[in-house]
Structure 1
Amino acid sequence: MTPLAVEIGARHLPGDLALVTDAVGIVLFAHGSGSSRHSPRNRFVAECLQRRGLATLLFDLLDPREAVDRSRVFDIDLLAGRVADAVAWTRCRGDVGHLDIGLFGASTGAAAALRVAAAQPEAVAAVVSRGGRPDLAGDALAQIRSPTLLIVGSEDTLLIEPHREALRRLRGEKRLEVVAGASHLFEEPGALEAVARLAGDWFAGHLGVGPRAQR
């Protein structure tokens, strides 16, 4: 991965960009509350996606001062704005701007990713949520047309019903996968590997296959 600065409005937040030869798309990671681009779970998934021919971008949604402010951590409007800026920054780059974009969100980052997909259907080709908070995406769920995969652990009991409700509200191509035996952080043996496999299949099936990829 190459360290760089991602332009987020007037800010430059740290990120890590991984390019792959003949990439079929690029996946932007939106981390959850209390996390950062250094999330070991997201980095593991990113490495798995790279082996599937996908470039990846992990970046910090908040600067260090904001990251300790709980009101910022759960400000979905703020986080969605940051993700949208990262999408715009990616589309303007000469090395990856031609690629289809996927969004991979965790926890509150998933809610932010879903809102961006609703607002920018032409820019977001697919979305994957890992242990996300789709309920925090609100009315945006019914506006999403990007293919959306929701992944939740079977032991993450507080979030299973919100995921089922979110699935009902989504109107485009959609799927809910419940990983057996997994808790919220997917720390159990084989759980994160299952997430990476599901995400890889979803992105590989939806990035690099549409009109944008043919240009």
Structure 2
Amino acid sequence: MDEQSSTVTIPVGDVQLPADLLLPADPAGVVLFAHGSGSSRHSPRNVAVARTLNGRGLATVLVDLLTPAEEEVDARTAEPRFDIGLLAGRLAGIVDWLAAERPAGNVPIGLFGASTGAAAALVAAASRADRVRAVVSRGGRPDLAGAALARVRTPTLLLVGGLDEEVIVLNEQALGELGEVGELRVVPGATHLFEEPGTLDQVADQAGAWFSDHLVGEAVRRS
């Protein structure tokens, strides 16, 4: 499969955010990644999932949602990475950029969020219901999305490790708020970071199938 990879700078409000963009030939959709607290666009887990999505013909965007200055503050206080409103606003701005600039073409947009990034993805999806067509959460904290959960109209898959008991409970509670647009799946034998052999592969496969169903199908309807 022919692919093009590049590092781009995305303007969002008064900041410039670096992102890694990978475009398969004729992508059927594009998935924007929101990493968890303390991580970056170079997260090996998100990169691995992104490669699986690329193999399914989906473009991917991995972006740093905080500026270097904000990262410095975060290292001392751990505040920006838990500012869900800030992160969600940045994601929404990137969704707008993808829709306007169309680096992957006029294709449907999905969001993949990990840990706290999942909460930001859900808040962004609630605010951009006309543009975000699918959401996947990996070991996420959807509960941190608060009141926005009830406003989500986007098909949302919650993936949680079977050994991540506290997060399972939080996702079950969030599922009640999401209603019929949400689905919870538990990956047996996995802890929070899906470090156990084969568990991240399951996440990537299930995320790929979810995005293929909801983005590729949307792309076909547009054509």
The answer to whether residue 16 in structure 2 is matched with residue 8 in structure 1 is no
Counterparts of 2:38 and 2:219 in 1: how far apart (Å)? 37
Q: Is the 8 A contact 1:146 1:172 kept in 2?
A: no
Evaluate the alpha carbon distance shift between residue 96 and residue 172 of structure 1 in structure 2; reply closer, same or farther with a 3 A threshold: farther
Runs of 4+ in 1 over 4 A off after TM superposition: none
Is contact 2:30-2:104 (8 Å) kept? yes
RMSD over aligned Cα atoms? 1.4
1:52 paired residue number: 56
In structure 1, list runs of 5 or more residues that go unmatched.
none
Distance in 1, Cα, partners of 2:175 & 2:124: 17
Partner of 2:160: 152
What is the correspondence of 1:93-108 to structure 2 with a 5 Å cutoff? 93-108=101-116
What is the CA-CA distance between 1:213 and the residue it aligns to? 5.0
Q: What is the aligned counterpart of 1:80 among 76, 79, 88?
A: 88
Q: 1:8 to 1:212 in 2, by over 3 A?
A: farther
Matched AA of 1:28: L
For residues 125 and 140 of structure 1, the distance between their equivalents in structure 2, rounded to whole angstroms, comes to 16
2:123 maps to which of 100, 115, 118: 115
SS at structure 1 position matched to 2:189: coil
| Aligned 8 A contact 1:100 1:212 in 2 | no
Structure 2 CA distance for aligned equivalents of residues 52 and 142 of structure 1: 31
TM-score, structure 1 normalization: 0.96
The residue aligned with 1:188 is: 196
Higher helix share: 2
AA at the equivalent of 1:18: L
Quick one: which of 173, 185, 194 aligns to 1:165? 173
Partners of 1:199 and 1:97 lie apart in 2 by 21
Report Cα offsets for 1:127-165 as digits up to 9, x if no partner: 000011101001111111100000010111111101001
Match of 2:139 in 1: 131
Of 35, 38, 44, the match for 1:40: 44
For 1:210, the equivalent position in structure 2 comes to 218
Unaligned runs of 5+ in 2: none
